[in-house]
């Protein structure tokens, strides 16, 4: 996929661009990094200058522009990346919440894995998204920025090119943006709002299962929660909870909630099967996502509608709050 950027040089830009050097304009005015535009040098018309009279010429990063000239650069994923990261396109459900030239945000259903892995090569959110791109005639490498557990539904971010993937990953790794979750947990919370700070590690001998451990014995993990409401549904005490996390450990919310005596309703791995209320998955939904447009810096904040299974119990317990979504 090719992403094109243009910039018209101003008189006021000359000092910060070493008197109009193309490479400096790319860095100082378009805020691109060297590794992002380095491949443009090897494609036809990858970097061009448009003069005031409308004529266009191909240039090098060391060439100069004068005020009024327009610099254009084409960002393209390198061929080896396109080949190595290719995800098979398979027709399947895709619920698009937002899309632009650089990213896509979908509402992932529960029960679907994010990206191909052992046992799931053609039935993942990435496979279905690649089919969506293919149907639009787009040549895109599918890169998820962050993950959701298979059982978890909600907003999920994908980058559409290598440059945006790098910027979005840095934004996330620096502790910006992220998700807010909604969950239905078992029991009455004595603390209506609190932070769980417990390290997490694998359970020996049990594949994929995690547990809380003493500090220094696993990966540190921090979860914040706030109780939004309570109800008794079919004799089971249930709490409606908003959750956010500072770390992204495997099964973090599910493990932390179980560790304080409030497993998620329907959780087949950490919950109480006798209290599942007919649910076959942990009722956890990434209802809000915050990120940025990777090149303009504009904030993007979106909500993902709740799925039917979650809404059915909220309605049954009269727990739904319209001010949340």
Average pLDDT of every residue of the chain: 91
- Pairing, β 2-8 against β 70-76: antiparallel
> Which CB contacts under 8 angstroms, 24+ apart, belong to 276-280?
277/233, 277/234, 277/236, 277/238, 277/313, 279/309, 279/313
Query: Who wins on pLDDT, 274 or 121?
Result: 274
Tens of pLDDT, residue by residue over 141-152, are 888 998 899 999
How far apart are alpha carbons 74 and 97 in whole angstroms? Answer: 27
Q: How far is CA 136 from CA 123, 132, 236, 318, in A?
A: 20, 7, 47, 42
Q: Class assignment of domain 181-285?
A: alpha beta
Out of 77, 149, 267, 309, pick the active-site residue: 149
Is the pLDDT confidence value at 79 over 60?
Answer: no
> Which CB contacts under 8 angstroms, 24+ apart, belong to 90-93?
90/122, 90/123, 90/127, 90/128, 90/130, 90/131, 91/128, 91/131, 92/123, 92/127, 92/128, 92/131, 93/128
How far apart are alpha carbons 251 and 5 in whole angstroms? Answer: 40
Structure tokens at 247: 């770390």
Lowest-confidence region among 173-177, 219-223, 277-281: 173-177
Residue 81 banded pLDDT, cuts 50, 70, 90: very low
Portions of the chain given CATH number 3.30.2350.10: 81-176, 181-285
User: Cβ(181)–Cβ(284) under 8 Å?
Assistant: yes
Q: What is the mean pLDDT of residues 247-258?
A: 95
Is the pLDDT confidence value at 82 over 80?
Answer: no
| Percent of the residues in the chain that have a pLDDT greater than 70, as a whole number | 97
The total number of residues written for the chain in this structure: 325
Tens of pLDDT, residue by residue over 233-246, are 999 999 999 999 99
User: Cβ(153)–Cβ(286) under 8 Å?
Assistant: yes
Is the pLDDT confidence value at 85 over 60?
Answer: no
- Pairing, β 299-303 against β 284-292: antiparallel
Tens of pLDDT, residue by residue over 288-316, are 999 999 999 999 999 999 999 999 999 99
The pLDDT assigned to 247 comes to 92
Is the pLDDT confidence value at 324 over 80?
Answer: no
Is the pLDDT confidence value at 58 over 60?
Answer: yes
Q: Is 275 helix (H, G, I), strand (E, B) or coil?
A: helix
Q: Is 149 a catalytic residue?
A: yes
Helix (H) or strand (E) holding 105: strand 103-108
pTM score of the predicted model: 0.85
Nearest C-alpha neighbor of 242 from the set 293, 303, 299, 292: 303
The pLDDT assigned to 260 comes to 98
Residue 161 banded pLDDT, cuts 50, 70, 90: confident
* CATH entry, 81-176, from 2.60.40.10, 3.80.30.20, 3.40.800.10, 3.30.2350.10: 3.30.2350.10
């Amino acid at each position: 996929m090719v992403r094109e950027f243009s910039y018209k040089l101003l008189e006021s830009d000359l000092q910060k661009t070493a008197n109009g050097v193309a490479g400096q304009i790319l860095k100082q005015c378009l805020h691109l990094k060297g590794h992002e535009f380095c491949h443009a040098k090897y494609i036809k018309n990858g970097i061009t200058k448009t003069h005031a009279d409308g004529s266009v010429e191909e240039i090098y990063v060391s060439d100069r522009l004068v005020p009024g000239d327009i610099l254009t650069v084409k960002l393209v994923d390198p061929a080896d990346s396109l080949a190595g990261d290719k995800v098979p396109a398979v027709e399947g459900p895709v619920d698009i919440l937002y899309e632009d030239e650089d990213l896509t945000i979908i509402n992932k259903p529960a029960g679907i894995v994010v990206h191909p892995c052992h046992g799931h090569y053609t039935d993942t959110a990435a496979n279905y998204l690649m089919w969506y791109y293919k149907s639009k005639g787009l040549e895109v490498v599918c890169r998820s920025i962050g993950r959701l557990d298979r059982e978890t539904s909600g907003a999920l971010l994908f980058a559409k090119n290598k440059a945006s993937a790098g910027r979005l990953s840095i934004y996330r790794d620096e502790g910006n943006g992220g998700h807010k979750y909604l969950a239905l947990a078992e029991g009455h919370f004595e603390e209506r709002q609190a932070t769980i700070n417990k390290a997490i590690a694998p359970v020996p001998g049990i594949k994929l299962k995690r547990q809380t451990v003493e500090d220094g014995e696993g990966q540190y993990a921090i979860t914040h929660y706030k109780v939004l409401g309570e109800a008794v549904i079919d004799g089971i005490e249930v709490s409606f909870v908003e959750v956010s996390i500072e770390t992204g450990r495997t099964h973090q919310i599910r493990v932390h909630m179980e560790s304080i005596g409030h497993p998620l309703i329907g959780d087949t791995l950490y919950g109480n099967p006798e209290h599942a209320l007919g649910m076959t998955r942990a009722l956890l939904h990434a209802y809000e996502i915050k990120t940025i447009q990777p090149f303009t810096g504009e904030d993007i904040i979106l909500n993902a509608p709740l799925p039917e299974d979650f809404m059915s119990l909220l309605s049954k317990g009269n727990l739904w709050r319209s001010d949340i979504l």
